[in-house]
Structure 1
Amino acid sequence: MNRIVSLLVVPYARLKSPPLFFWLLLSYMTIVVLLVSFILYSVFFYRGHVREEVITYNNLNLKDTSDNYEAKIKQIENSVLSFSMNDRVAALDTPVFNYAAGGKLIDELQVFLTNQSLYLDNMIIYYQDSNVAIEKSRGADADVMFKRYYGSSDYSYDYWKSQFDSPYVIRILPASSFYEYDDPNKLASSSQLIPIIIRNQTNPSILFIAFADAQKMYRDFHQSITNDFYILDSSRRSYFASGGEKAEAIPAFDGQSSFVKQGDNYYFYKKGASSGLTYVNIIPNDNISQMKWNITFVLLLALAILLSLLASFLFSLRLRRPVKQLVKAIQLLTTGSPWRKQSAIKEFAIIQEKVRHLLDSNMDINQDLEHRNSLLRHYAYINQLKNIRSSAGYLKDLIKSNQPYRVVLFKLTFRPRLLEEIGDEERATNFIRDYINNVLTENYPESLTLQLESDQLLAVIYADDAGPDLDETLEGIKNVLELDLAYCFSTMAISGHYEHPDEFKLSFEQAKSMLHLRKFNGTNQILRVISGAKPANYYLMPAQEEELNASLTNGNEPQIMQFVKRELAALRKKEATDHEVKGFANYLADRAKRALVVNQLDCELIQTMQTELQHCHAFEELERLFEEWLPRLMNLVRSKKEKKDHITSFVFDYLEQHYAHDITLDMMADKLNITRSYLSTYFKEKTGTYFVDYVNLIRVSRAKELLSCSDVKIQDAAARVGYQNINSFNRMFKKFTGVTPSEFRKVEQRA
């Protein structure tokens, strides 16, 4: 007893940091309180909600019952109407009844009534004109049928006869007992049936009376725990009663609720949608009563609470002792320099050594995991971009989901000076990537920067609008990269906001397409999403193209230089994109190359110029390059023109103007008034190329220009350069370029 008191009386100083015993005891007692609260809440909840649950249960049961009755009545109506369309039924509607034909109709009626799903005991077809009624086993005069074979205290022969005077399609009558007599005084059988009268408007003098088995329908459709079930019409007249008694005691229904409570009973009701009948199920109040308190339950609950509190105290006391000893041992390890003192206790010394080893290993593992996780995230994003199907599904989980993100695509352009002084673009790209990654992770801890190509970096930045401003961060990176403009410059394309991981490739494609919007200058640029912006392609009007070709072919240096300066000035004025200016430069170089080929000159000079074109990133550099190389090229052309060969020059000029037409060696020989074999041999000797190969070379060169425009289809490009067969075009294009037309277009778009 004294020990218990000493444990409960805690000094004030220890209250600030309660011992383990206090927390264990508090935890156990909290669990006990929660369980008791749950039990009490369950009891009150059960008491308060059991009535609603039972009411809901009975409503659902009655709904199923009413739905089954309504569906079955509708099925009977449709089936009988279908049977009434039988030609044999209408043929018997005459003043003189044909009993031979009636026998065949009885056979068909027997087959119809074998359908057990209709719940029909029998069906009478009553002909007004002949006053004859037939059913599944016989035919007789109507008065005999309704007095002897289907007699009822509720429905007399006169009642059935009067039904011909009422215009309706279907009428459901209250259930009644129908009797059959062997003779006027001897009862043979009786059945409780629900008569359903159906009339086909095309034969109003024929009455179809379907007798549904009331008890069988009740047994199959009624799902309640009680047997007090009624069917009423709109006038509260009883159509069916499960016990056979009348329904005068059923209260009126207001239609606002699904049940009415009166006296000791609940009256659940449901009105049928098609028949208009009301289905009623009576449940005694005892079945929906609330649970009452039980003295035994209260005593057991109190005893369980006391035992739980006592067990909590004892368990807390038992667990306190070994944990207290372990804490003391750990305190010894952490006194002063914890990993230099060795415990004298063997067990604790082992624990100390193992903990030291685990901590060291944990530090190494964490570093290794951090590095591996970074690599895995790289792989995850690369797999997304390149559509790599990987069995390692966990890679996809490394891509953050349900977090807004943007991607920034960095395109690096290196100058020749970097290759001369450093000599390694890959090394420079790694330095830039590390710098960008450090800046971005400082502002956006979840960001990731990865290298896609030797000159492309991709940064994935998870941040919403409330975070650091991305534009300011990129402007800071841009200002730092400005220091190395002599070696390289970059283009930073920022995508829009996305959230779903499946949209990652879409965000990358958006940023990639924006690279074509870069302005032509050798500075760092930041490109943002502009709605409706599309890269412009360089093109000439037909008259300008003809003028340029003539100037290049004839070596007209002043005219070609004037053309170049005029085009460069126009491009500079409109602040043309890098894509458009490079398109102009490549177009001019390609045309100059063709002029060299036409004049049978070596193309090595133009290839050197094209190599230097790749390193021109400003209008001044481009203009300087053309001023240096074009005069040399035009001088070569003019020199060759002085030694012009009449036959090859005519072929070159004609093909340049008519390459899109049907051109053959025979046609060219006729135009030159020479033989076909002579032209073929002469052209090969002078140019080193077969005539057919040269024609295809001209056409493929022109097709390359057309395919550089994204709005020209491959089939259209083939037709415009003279190929009517797409297979021939594909074969020749790959022969002279090494790639197919579709592959060439992809390379152009990527560039």
Structure 2
Amino acid sequence: MQNRVYLRLLLSFIIVASFYTLIIAVSLVRSTYSQQRADAISQIKSNLQQEADISDQQLSAANDTVLSLTEKSSLQNLAQTPPTGYHPYARVYDDIMANPDYANFSSQYAIGIVRHANGRVISSDGFFQFEPYLKYMEVASLKPQVSQFFKKLPDNGIRVLEANDHVLLLRNTSLDGGEQPLTFLTTWEKSELAPLNIYNNKGQLKLLDTLNPKAKKTLPEIEHIADAFNHAQASASSVMQQQVGGDQYFVRQSNIIPTIMYTYVISNHELSQMPAHLVMMLVLYFFVLLLVGGLLVYILTRRSFRPYAKIIDEVQQIDSNVRPQNAEVLLEKIHDLVESNHQYASMQNDVTHDLKLLFLKNLLLNSYSQKDISRFADLLALDELQNGGVIGILTFSQIALSEEPLGINERKDARKKNIVALWPKPLNLLFDIDVNHYAILSEHGPNTTDDFVHTLNHTAVQLSKRLKIPVHALISIPFHNLNEIPVRFADVYSTATATPEDVTTKPTAIMLSNGVYTVETEAAILASVSQRDFAKADQLLDQALTKTLTANRTTLAALTNIKFVFLNTLKRTLDSVGLSVTDFIDENRKVVNQLDLETSPKQVKASIITLFHDAFDRISKLSKHHRTLEEHIIDYIARRYTSDLALSEIADHYHLSESHTSRLIKEHLGISFKDYLIQLRMRQAKSLLNNTDQKVADIAEAVGYKNVNTFIRIFKATTGQTPGKFRRSTDID
């Protein structure tokens, strides 16, 4: 017995120590990870600035060389007429080698000049045919892109290409009086153009030309990054950071050639990693904690634990002559024994309760055979559920504002605490199925189920108010023993996310699969309502409900489907006379909520008939001159046409489909919704142009156009004139 108590205490200490070690580890790792990431980003930005400045210096020197060479007569002669003989090429070569700008950087890049793609290249390394020159410079793989550049040959165009460890700069230059533009080919080794000392060398440094189609194929994200860079209006010397997928992109624009982006790409994994020394420190801390804790538990257990046999031996060893005088000693021994028993019983109850919760959660998820269910039920004394009960589901449809900073497990804990706090009695059988669904078990009794339904509904309402999000409650069909719990739970869980509000916003009817309630039956009910024959409509409704509830009451899913079907019929009944479904639901909230929770076919029928009777009363009170649905829609457009109005907004407001809404407008007006909207906006725009001095951009916004160019285009297409010309012609008149 002593060993069992010792092992339980030690296990408890290990769990607590592990928990706190985990908290410390998460805190330290998060802090270290964030700091390391921030340092890495700062270092990368600084290094990329230096790399870009060094590369820009090289590009600037190459540009200066090209500009100074274009002033030489030898190059002007080369551009004017095709050279004949050796001497024109030799003069160009001499001018290249004598150029002071090139002389300062001749060890870092090579320069070549050519008239056309198949011409002879005059370079700092001699004379070459075009293809051999590309091979000599180790950029032969770039020939297709170079050929593409020569085909388009933009005036003073620049293109930067990368091949393995080399960078090629193409610059097309038209000389004054030259018949043929000259193309300058400047080649660097990457190590000469930039030292590549970027952070830990685990990323990739790229010189990307945003005008190069090949670069866009190699790195599709460059277009988005360049757009983001321009949108941010960043200075050319600043480094912009952007995440694309699992990679971080660091971009700096060249000060010399604006189309070049110095781009460093590194994966988030490589950007910051777990420090090995921190892991070792945490592991060492955990083992030291376990060692110290184990020793303390052992020492304290040895001192405070008094087994029965030892106490009895000590009592028996007291001399019979002195036993009466040692009554206090005996009482102290008995007190120690009772205290030990009390602590053990308390520990045993806690463990039993935890096992009970674990068993029931797995039972809900259908993890046991019937044999296992019977065996565990006897061991855990689940008498309160052996005679049956019900399962309640609370569904959180959204994330509350106060929950946004929380992780999934933290959100689960917070929601369970809210449920327990709002439940009027101690709540022992509460389970989180997932982050949005929570199951509560209740035993069966004469008044227990009714109280449970009321409490569950009240808790859902209070949770909605507290968190300011929709929270729905749903009750299962009662189970009669533990074996039925998985079936009933699967049934109620499969329909837990559906609510009456969801149904009443759907424009399409959900007819029952067994054919008892068909589209024709619903059409007959709607026809009776349109003729104001409410007695016949009530009779058809009663017959349809009786038949469907008789044929579909085996599962909760079927019962829920019946609710959906008839609530959709109710929605179309209200829509047919232009009554607001939303207002109707709000005013009958109590009945709707009760219907949502009902599992008795009799009560379901009573609630549905109550809702229909209220709808019939409202319809009967409408005057003969009450506006039609089409008139409501036209009035809605007239009130909101100056906003960013869409057909979907109108359809949602009146709980119709977009196609049905569009058809109603066209049948009533003779023109489409889009044409009518333009007509209203143009009429108002003309009035403002005639009677005010507002700017055209302000008038465009006032009549519902965010883009003034769109307004001008539509105005001209409608009136044949631009807004400015229309205003001027009106002023003349």
Per the normalisation by structure 2, the TM-score is: 0.28
Q: Which has the larger radius of gyration?
A: 1
